[in-house]
Amino acid sequence: MEFKHVPIMVREVIDMLNLKPGDVVVDATIGGAGHSLEMVKRILPGGLLIGIDQDDEAIEASKVRLEPFGESVILKRTNFSCIKEVLKDSGVNAVDAILADIGVSSYQLDEAQRGFSYMHDAPLDMRMDRRSEITAEFLVNSLSKDELEEIIRDYGEERWARRISEFIVRERQKKPIKTTAHLVEIIKSAIPARSRRGGHHPAKRTFQALRIAVNNELAILEKAITDFIDVLKPGGRLAIITFHSLEDRIVKNAFKREENACGCDGKPRTRIITKKPLVPSAEERERNPRCRSAKLRVAEKL
């Protein structure tokens, strides 16, 4: 399957990053290079784009798409939490702009065998980096009931977390839970019928929670924001796209903290450019329903 990911709010991202020829920029979650393709066009001649992704298929797809730009592009397969090491290896001290598009990609959702989607029957995987040993199958079959409840409640904001965790533990005593379809059945049986009528898919929140836990997404994001700002040049901008309230809250609070944090001269480190997050236009939401919950926040290094 070809790696396809529809980039979100491309025009807004490009406008907000304030790119110009000669800039050094980082796409911290390059995916299929949808944003990067537009970013690199605006930093040439003389610019450099560094693309990071922990998904091997994303790196391979980006390599093909960005091949015409030759040495103006460097690609690294790793997590964006390693941005300082990536820049050091690339001979770069500081950058003019960083974009991070957080969460699961369209390709990862659509590629059934990756196990991210509750719409396809597949192995219960959910790893963004397939070199990792921790899978969703491992979590649902090894964690205690209380640990599962905490993950589903805190990362999925699921009101039925206790019942779902109870049903998971009960079911795995009969046989291991190895597929997404099996887990969906358990979740549906745990949530009362009246609560399953209308609204989102009953497994949506639990799958989100397990994906976040498998990939340690929230803890990584929290640390990475500080590192992103550390490596920005004065006047450099950081743009982050999130897709659910937990991620957005981390970004919002981190930006506020950095705006109030004082450097060695006693002045704030950053200023927030987007007092309210930017969201996709009605036209984009209609064209790409998956972008409906997206929010874009931008901060500038002082």
CATH number where 132 lies: 1.10.150.170
Residue 19 lies in a domain: yes
The mean pLDDT of the chain is: 93
Boundary of a domain, candidates 215, 233, 258: 215
Where is 36: in which H helix or E strand? Answer: helix 34-43
List, for residues 137-181, the tens digit of each pLDDT value: 999 999 999 999 999 999 999 999 999 999 999 999 999 999 999
Domain of residue 75, residue span: 10-107+217-301
Evaluate whether residue 164 is within a structural domain. Answer: yes
Sheet holding 232-242, edge to edge: 73-77, 48-53, 24-27, 95-101, 232-242, 295-301, 270-272
Q: Quick check: 98 and 28 in contact, CB under 8 A?
A: yes
Is residue 221 located within the same domain as residue 248? Answer: yes
Please tell me the pTM assigned to this model. 0.92
Contact 10, 46 (CB under 8 A): no
Hey, what are 128's tokens?
């963004």
Question: How far apart (Å, rounded) are the C-alpha atoms in residues 294 and 283?
Answer: 14
Are 209 and 226 members of one domain? no
| pLDDT value of position 199 | 75
| In a shared domain, residues 98 and 247 | yes
Question: C-alpha angle 76/77/79, rounded to 5°?
Answer: 105
Q: Are residues 24 and 75 in the same domain?
A: yes
Residues 28/84, Cβ–Cβ less than 8 Å: no
In a domain, 5, yes or no: no
Residues 6+ apart with CB under 8 A from 83: 26, 28, 52, 98, 224, 227, 228, 231
**131 and 171 together in one domain:** yes
Which of 215, 238, 254 is the last residue before a domain boundary? 215
Judge whether 63 lies within some domain.
yes
One digit per residue, the tens of pLDDT, for the chain of length 302 reads 555 567 899 999 999 999 999 999 999 999 999 999 999 999 999 999 999 999 999 999 999 999 999 999 999 999 999 999 999 999 999 999 999 999 777 667 778 789 999 999 999 999 999 999 999 999 999 999 999 999 999 999 999 999 999 999 999 999 999 999 999 999 999 999 888 877 789 999 999 999 999 999 999 999 999 999 999 999 999 999 999 999 999 999 999 999 987 655 667 889 999 999 999 999 999 999 989 999 999 999 99
What is the domain count for the chain? 2
- Concatenate the DSSP letters of all residues of 227-282 into one string: HHHHHEEEEEEEEEEESSHHHHHHHHHHHHHHHH-B-TTSSBSEEES-SS-B---H
Q: Which run of H or E residues covers position 217? A: helix 217-231
Domain boundary among 215, 232, 266: 215
